[in-house]
Amino acid sequence: MGAGGTGMAPLALFLRGAGHDVTACDDAFTQPVREMLLSGGVKLAELPDPGKGFDEIVHSSAIKSNHPVMISARQSEIPIFRRGQALAQSVTDKKLVAVVGSHGKTTTTAMLVHLLGYADVAFGYVVGGFFDEAGVPSARWAADQWVIAEVDESDGTIECFEPEITVVLNCDLDHVDRYEDLEDMKAAYGRLFARTKGQVFVPYGHELQNLANEEASCEVSTFGPGGCFDAEVKETDRGLHVIRNTENGKVEESVRALGDFNGWNAVAALVVCEKIAGQAPLDRLGSFPGLKRRQVVLCDSAERMIMEDYAHHPVELTAILRHFRNVSPQRHLRVVFQPHRFSRQTSLRESFAEALSVADDLYLLPTYGAGETPSDSGRSDTLIGLLPDSLSQTRVYQGFYELSDALEKNSDDQDCVLFLGAGDIEKYASAFVHFEATGRDRWLACGRYLRQRLSPETAFRFNEPLASKTTLRVGGKARLYCEPSSLDDLRELIMAARLFELPIFALGRGSNLIVPTEGYEGIVICMRSSSWRSIETMSDNRLIVGSGARLKEICLMACSQGLSGFEFLEGIPGTLGGALRMNAGAMGGDIFDLVESVTIMNKEGVRREMNRKEFHTAYRECPELKDAFVINATMRAPATSTDSLILDQLRGFAKTRQHTQPYQASAGCIFRNPMGESAGRLIDEEGLKGIRVGEAEVSRKHGNFIINRGGATAEDVLSLISLVRRKVEASRGIVLEPEVTLMGKSWEETFKKNL
């Protein structure tokens, strides 16, 4: 559970490598993580049933105890473990190298894995991040003894480990929701030292050295200037140099990282590599590929450098900002910062303000809660009053474009734009780079942004004609048209639309819809992929139906299972998602009469299941689905019957439609039925059947249908709708309201235009 994260995805790979059958689920898999897990033999599932063959549930700290899967697991008495507990359990028979510290664990672990790859040592590893190199997995299981892993103190599972070797990097107060103060946190480190079997490595001269000497029962060694492993770090504007003493004299190696703190991370990796392999390979640090979200340089030119980094603690911010001040003093330092967790922001607010005061310009994003309950004291704007006068213009930016406008380069000065934080700030950084590179063209920028995030199976086209995708066969193009192949792709599209502030429209089969001639200046999402069209039969007369399944397909499946009550769907030319959004109906039945629950994704990209009672449906509308995407629905048959009786009902409905509804291209009923009246009868009584505008015609068979005679335009159809509406109002005093949707436009404006 929560397997899309940087801690859980590698663990899933490691457990799979150990021979376990692993199923991973998450509300927000990214495409690279999805591919990495699948290539490693991990199964993916949206919401698995713990009662069906699972032995254990492993979850991240983001998964709360009231999650449906967690509740089900407890009811089924299935053991539940946190990430750290599961990792500790899986390495009990191994020689574990535990990398610990408030900062730098992931980078140091990755550097050690990289170095050991050049040594004659077999080992497995679990890195809490993703290598910035294609094809390099974040974890690998090996039958041999050594396992390299970072051990996290944030949730208290550090207490579960008994390492062979512990290397500690630093200790600063963090995770204030768990530790009362710094001494409480140090005590956890001390207990880990006491459980370490072979050797503890600590920075020379650090207060942790005394703690290790007091608590550890094994050998304690130091690294750094004057330590057992003597080394020093030199910082340049393009990277680092580590100088260490070897049997052959001093050796200097380059490190592809910024900030002297990363130099000491490299030294820690070297000392442990030497301990395990006998010696550390020479001149291999320079080929370390780095990690995603760690000092990722997105743009570097003579005029501007743009970088994104995971720094989210005052100590980390101080280190990275000090680096740029020291090595690039001529550059104007512009910092975009997103606080991570309300509790951290509340407790360390003064330290954050002090660290960020180094910037020339500071731009704040709202606090990223990471599952925490929002608090006023943890909001971003609480920093502003603590900043120096030089940063008096600092404010919180709520949207991408207002932030981009503020960051627009308006001088010839060299500058650095640093996006810092551990939430979703990397999306802002990526979007900004594409926005700048395309001359601030939001559509080109959005396209480039999405190409990096969507799976290859997702259809993704600009200026896509829509007329052929509707039942009326009129209208222009979609500025961007997408057919997501998975839930993750759908979420990426929704979040991109939100980030770039672009309108978004859900397209089903295109019935009950008119596309204007000018098309749609937004993102059109159509659930046409086969992954959205599944129809699964369940017990108790239920079907689980994907949003892209056609109503006729649902009807036929129900018929094949002897389920009665679905017959009225047979002649409605739509898909489940569209039918639910407008509460489609016919022959006296409405779609929601069959609904037990609906799984949706809202405009924030959050997936949730809603039961029938949560929907406030009315005639041809469902407000709760206006801005949401249907994923699937559980539908229950009111009754069962024999195949022959159901088929008789189907034939009866089909015959009625053939006699009362036109066969030509149409959008279905155009107007809502007024209270106590029939829109079709009113139009018929006014003698409007058969009138035409261009190639659009009021059907001679049913007055509430407008048909396309073969060459109609959207203007023809809209003009005819307006004409019919005016004539009925003038004669009968009844204002007909449209039932059909007009994509991207207001009916009020259309009627005014056609007066």
CATH number at residue 458: 3.30.43.10
Is the confidence at residue 237, as pLDDT, over 70?
no
Band the pLDDT of 370: cuts 50, 70, 90: confident
Does some domain include residue 344? yes
Last residue of a domain, one of 526, 561, 583: 526
The SS3 call for residue 52 is coil
Residue linked to tokens 């989210």: 312
Q: Any idea which residues carry the catalytic annotation?
A: 620, 669, 739
285 falls within a domain: no
**Domain assignment present for 605:** yes
Q: Is residue 140 part of a domain?
A: no
Instruction: For residues 631 and 513, state if they share a domain.
Output: no
Binning pLDDT at 50, 70 and 90, where does residue 13 land? Answer: very high
- CATH number for the domain spanning 351: value is 3.90.190.20
542 and 565 within one domain: yes
Query: What are the pLDDT digits (tens) for 317-366?
Result: 988 898 888 878 888 999 999 999 999 899 889 999 999 999 999 999 99
Query: 515 lies in a domain?
Result: yes
pLDDT confidence band for 397 (50 / 70 / 90): very high
Is residue 215 in some structural domain? no
Q: Which amino acid is at 196?
A: T
Last residue of a domain, one of 611, 646, 681: 646
Instruction: Provide the edge-to-edge strand list for the sheet that holds 542-546.
Output: 535-537, 542-546, 629-636, 595-601, 607-611
Q: In this structure, what CATH number is given to the domain that contains residue 608? A: 3.30.465.10
Does residue 336 belong to any structural domain of this protein? Answer: yes
Q: Is the pLDDT of residue 662 over 70?
A: yes
Residues 740 and 699 reside in one and the same domain? yes
Tokens found for residue 392? 């008096």
DSSP string, 583-647: T-EETTEEGGGGEEEEEEE-TTS-EEEEEGGG---BTTB-GGGTT-EEEEEEEE-SEE--HHHHH
Q: Mean pLDDT, to the nearest integer, of 732-742?
A: 94
Closest CA to 573 of 615, 511, 635, 625: 511
Q: Are residues 436 and 351 in the same domain?
A: yes
Q: Which residues of 424-447 are buried (b: 16+ CB within 10 A; e: fewer)?
A: ebbbbbbbbbbbbeeeeebeebbb
Kindly state whether residues 459 and 554 are assigned to the same domain.
no
Q: What are residue 211's phi and psi, to 5 degrees?
A: -60, -45
pLDDT band, very low/low/confident/very high, at 733 (cuts 50, 70, 90): very high
Task: Give the pTM.
Answer: 0.82
User: Does residue 522 share a domain with residue 537?
Assistant: no
Residues 431 and 304 in one domain: yes
Q: Please check whether residue 276 is in contact with residue 97, taking contact to mean a CB–CB distance below 8 angstroms.
A: yes
Predicted confidence band of residue 124 (pLDDT cuts 50, 70, 90): very high
Query: Residue 715 maps to which CATH number?
Result: 3.90.78.10
Q: Which residues constitute the domain of residue 398?
A: 296-440
CA distance 563 to 566: 7
Answer yes or no: is pLDDT of 256 > 80: no
Nearest in space to 633 (alpha carbons), one of 657, 658, 610, 664: 610
Boundary-marking domain end, from 526, 557, 580: 526
Please indicate, yes or no, whether residues 748 and 678 belong to a single structural domain of this protein: yes
- Count of structural domains, the chain: 4
Strand partners, 698: 706
pLDDT band at 736 (very low <50, low <70, confident <90, very high): very high
pLDDT tens-place string over residues 557-604: 888 888 888 877 777 778 999 889 888 877 667 889 899 999 999 988
Q: Is the pLDDT of residue 367 over 90?
A: yes
Element (H, E) at 277: helix 260-277
Q: Are residues 462 and 578 in the same domain?
A: no
pLDDT at 419 over 90: yes
CA-closest candidate to residue 403, choices 269, 500, 532, 530: 500
Whether 573 is covered by a domain: the verdict is: yes
Same-domain status, 571 and 623: yes
**Whether residue 411 is found in the same domain as residue 470:** no
556 and 493 part of one domain: no
Q: Output the pLDDT for position 529.
A: 87
Give the pLDDT band (50/70/90) at residue 263: confident
